[in-house]
Chains A and B, each alone.
Chain A
Amino acid sequence: MNFELNDEQRMLSDSLTRFLSDKYDFEKRRKYMEMEGGFDPAIWQGYAELGIFALPFSEDEGGLGGTSVETMIVGQAMGYALTNEPWIEAMAIAPSLLQAGSAEQRAEVAEGIIGGEIIPTWAHLEPGMIDRGEDIATTAGADGALSGTKTVVIFGAEANLIFVTARGPEGLGLYMVKGGASGLDAREYKTQDGRRAAELTFDGTPSVRLSGGIPAEEAIALAEARGVSAVMAESLGCMEKAIEETVEYIKGREQFGRPIGSFQALQHIAAGAVVEKEQVKSMAMYASVMCDDGDATARDLALSAAKVKMCDASREVGQMAIQLHGGVGMTMEYAIGHYFKRMTMQEIAYGDRDFHMDRLCEAGGLAA
């Protein structure tokens, strides 16, 4: 039993935090959001140069062979800085889905992601599909031609490599489509939390099926697990920053002739948020270790437990932060509202509370 980070992990945390505090603040973030595609490609390249994209790939794939603990460290820093780029798709989703592919497929895509040339995303959800367990209607022909519609594909119009979940002649499969491929239509929009996403329509779109690795179902389940773990870590970072911002605010804001942070009613609400945040920190660590567990059932139940805890805590911390900011917390001008919006999206990403409660309840809870 050991919850401590090793020296390399601490260095990773320090260097990424330094990079982000240099590149990201509220004003800079606003500028990035106004750029074409909703983010600055130079920052994506910066991540690549820091080497973070190499972490989740094995040494055989040309990566650094890191674990989900490294992904957690990255996620915490990304959440704290409220970054917008699709790092979860690059670091948690793509490396998992690629496990369905051959050694050559894995190495080729890994090289592109590690170098920052590939911006990957995952087209999985379909219109009307509010639960991640529902059937996939998108089809793939024997030649890999895809037909169907996918919804809320994060940076779906900007990504140059799209992993698509579809039903082919051999059952559920994972297919890779290049950005701008023929028969691919993207309807782009902004998300509630300042990112971009798109509805993607495939009409005979050429693709390459991932084959030669683990079954697609297993790769999808792995991606879902690592997605939960990554979004947990990001949520933790957001909670840390939201509490910091709120505490700073109530120390400075004066009413009734004194800082409102001197009122015990507010102090105890803020302290309650710290309690919940600390529980999420523990569960984020648990999630990151468990999502590399070889027993898929134990892994998925553990991740569900973590996500349930995160959903509850995120609501409490987020709502606390807006409430204690008062009127200014309601405005676009203040950072806190943007953290609140991101936290709310994290609660519903990769399965909401009900989805994960159902999974736990059906199994009779965590293994004792």
Chain B
Amino acid sequence: MELTFTPEEEAFRQEVREFIEANLPAATRDHLKRGNPPTKEMTVEWHKILHAKGWATPRWPAEWGGPGWSVTQMYIFQQENQRAGAPDPQGFNVGMIGPVLIQFASDEMKKEFLPKIASLDYWFCQGFSEPGAGSDLASLKTKAEWDEAGQQWIVNGQKTWTTYAQHADWIFLLVRTSNEGKKQEGISFLLVDMTSPGVEVHPIQTMDGGHEINSVFFTDVKVPAKNLIGEVNKGWTYAKFLLGNERLGAPRVGSSQAKLEELKEIAQTRIVRGKPLWDHPRFRDKFVEAQVELKALEMTVMRVLSSMQAGADTGKPDPATSVIKIKGAQMIQRLTELFVEVAGEQAMPWTDGELGDNARIGDAWVERAAPNYFNYRKSSIYGGSDQVQKGIISKAILGL
């Protein structure tokens, strides 16, 4: 057992750190440092810089442009990228659709799509949830019907909570292709061009005022036969594979470490009743408790990666992946709470600019404190809610 990194791994960390330092655009760094989500342009610009370096697709096999890193190197890269306050490589492309295509698509589709997914020339979004299919995803109703004459699929229905659909060139969809047998066995996996006639994107504003998510409507959308990935009615298998990958990316340990450091810096300079907040025992307790939780999360993430590296049986459910999902969400949420608690009443102004700059009474982090707290309630809901994860643990691990 060895928790420290080898000199080679430390050298790799240094290389990553220096590359990010030298190449991350200052405007992006400042924008994210203020607690804002990256704009599309910022994500694309940084993604392309990483892609040119060969680092945008860390977990892909070398054949499809992956850097051939060990699990430890992937972890180091992710941690450094997050700590530096850089945008993540586009997750739907790199962590979801890419691996699904590599695993299940025909060679023709791989050649057509993977290079553009890797370079982010195609921005993919995820069309899974529907108004009537959230945690019970398999009850989805958006249907694809086979058009024998046109040799194509015709899609009708509605997807929702579609993150960054407004940016997307393509969407990967779960669609119903059969109503026979178990509901999981009538689902297929389809790639749809967002510019196809009949695709409409309607924005959903979240309570923080942001626009990340959308409803996407499909009315008689024509999709070429080759865009169905793998086999008809096997889409559920591919979706489960994809969601397993999603859960591993969820904890964002490096990002939480950076946030905690930022919180400490703020507390050291914020004078409360004559002394820095940092010197108030009640704050110190909360800080240390968050730090302890984060250390435990970091260790659990490293433990899972280590067992992957050692070639653990991936068919067997590892309780630690659901633990990571639940605890990762809690950690991010706890940090957003702490920012609100540190901001105090200065967190009240709503700085959407409608009444001019009157609301800008505090530092940038103060403005983002409440919106980020509101926004990150999502993290225990998406990617399988806490309750879904506990259901998985009860059934797959405890046999209840």
- The residues of B that contact A270 with a CB separation of less than 8 Å are 394, 398, 400
Contact A282-B400, Cβ < 8 Å, known A2-B1, A267-B394, A308-B292: no
Contact A272-B327, Cβ < 8 Å, known A1-B2, A289-B1, A305-B291: no
Is the beta-carbon distance between A357 and B285 smaller than 8 angstroms? yes
Contact A275-B297, Cβ < 8 Å, known A251-B400, A288-B1, A361-B288: no
Contact A366-B387, Cβ < 8 Å, known A3-B1, A286-B299: no
Is the beta-carbon distance between A305 and B295 smaller than 8 angstroms? yes
- The residues of A that contact B36 with a CB separation of less than 8 Å are none
Contact A1-B289, Cβ < 8 Å, known A274-B393, A361-B284: no
Complex Cα spacing A243 to B3, Å? 27
- CB interface residues, B 121-144, toward A, < 8 Å: none
Is the beta-carbon distance between B398 and A274 smaller than 8 angstroms? yes
Nearest-CB residue, chain A, relative to B303: A3
- CB interface residues, A 341-368, toward B, < 8 Å: 357, 360-361, 364-366, 368
B91 interface residue per 8 A CB criterion? no
Is the beta-carbon distance between A279 and B323 smaller than 8 angstroms? yes
B310 interface residue per 8 A CB criterion? yes
Is the beta-carbon distance between B2 and A2 smaller than 8 angstroms? yes
- The residues of B that contact A361 with a CB separation of less than 8 Å are 281, 284-285, 288
Is the beta-carbon distance between A268 and B327 smaller than 8 angstroms? no
Pick the most buried of B4, B278, B288, B322: most chain A CB atoms within 10 A of its CB: B288
- The residues of A that contact B287 with a CB separation of less than 8 Å are 365
Is the beta-carbon distance between A261 and B3 smaller than 8 angstroms? no
- The residues of B that contact A25 with a CB separation of less than 8 Å are none
Of B72, B261, B288, B295, which is within 8 A of A283 by CB? Answer: B295
Is the beta-carbon distance between A305 and B390 smaller than 8 angstroms? no
Of B3, B289, B296, which is within 8 A of A279 by CB? Answer: B296
Is the beta-carbon distance between A3 and B323 smaller than 8 angstroms? no
- The residues of A that contact B299 with a CB separation of less than 8 Å are 282-283, 285-286
B397 interface residue per 8 A CB criterion? yes
B302 interface residue per 8 A CB criterion? yes
A-B contact count (CB 8 A): 136
Is the beta-carbon distance between B320 and A366 smaller than 8 angstroms? no
A178 interface residue per 8 A CB criterion? no
Complex Cα spacing A357 to B327, Å? 21
Is the beta-carbon distance between B3 and A1 smaller than 8 angstroms? yes
Is the beta-carbon distance between A267 and B391 smaller than 8 angstroms? yes
B246 interface residue per 8 A CB criterion? no
B5 interface residue per 8 A CB criterion? yes
- The residues of B that contact A2 with a CB separation of less than 8 Å are 1-2, 306, 309-310
- The residues of B that contact A69 with a CB separation of less than 8 Å are 1
Of A247, A308, A309, which is within 8 A of B400 by CB? Answer: A247
Of B300, B302, B387, which is within 8 A of A268 by CB? Answer: B387
Complex Cα spacing A9 to B387, Å? 36
A262 interface residue per 8 A CB criterion? yes
- The residues of B that contact A278 with a CB separation of less than 8 Å are 300, 319-320, 323
Is the beta-carbon distance between A279 and B390 smaller than 8 angstroms? no
Complex Cα spacing A5 to B303, Å? 12
Is the beta-carbon distance between B261 and A275 smaller than 8 angstroms? no
A250 interface residue per 8 A CB criterion? yes
- CB interface residues, B 360-400, toward A, < 8 Å: 387, 389-391, 393-394, 397-400
Nearest-CB residue, chain B, relative to A283: B296
Is the beta-carbon distance between B5 and A1 smaller than 8 angstroms? yes
Complex Cα spacing A272 to B319, Å? 11
A50 interface residue per 8 A CB criterion? no
B56 interface residue per 8 A CB criterion? no
B208 interface residue per 8 A CB criterion? no
B332 interface residue per 8 A CB criterion? no
Is the beta-carbon distance between B292 and A309 smaller than 8 angstroms? yes
- CB interface residues, B 313-339, toward A, < 8 Å: 319-320, 322-323, 326-327
A4 interface residue per 8 A CB criterion? yes
Pick the most buried of A1, A266, A290, A368: most chain B CB atoms within 10 A of its CB: A1
Q: What does the 1/0 interface line of A125-158 toward B look like (CB < 8 Å)?
A: 0000000000000000000000000000000000
Chain A residues with CB under 8 Å of chain B are 1-5, 9, 69, 243, 247, 250-251, 261-262, 264, 266-268, 270-272, 274-275, 278-283, 285-286, 288-290, 305, 308-309, 357, 360-361, 364-366, 368
Other A-B pairs, 12, CB within 8 Å; known A247-B398, A271-B393 = A1-B9, A3-B1, A3-B307, A247-B399, A251-B399, A267-B400, A272-B390, A278-B319, A283-B295, A288-B1, A305-B291, A357-B289
4 smallest A-B Cβ distances: which pairs? A282-B299, A271-B390, A267-B394, A271-B393
- 14 A-B pairs in the complex with CB atoms less than 8 angstroms apart: A2-B2, A247-B398, A251-B400, A267-B400, A268-B394, A271-B397, A279-B300, A281-B300, A285-B299, A305-B291, A357-B289, A361-B285, A365-B288, A368-B261
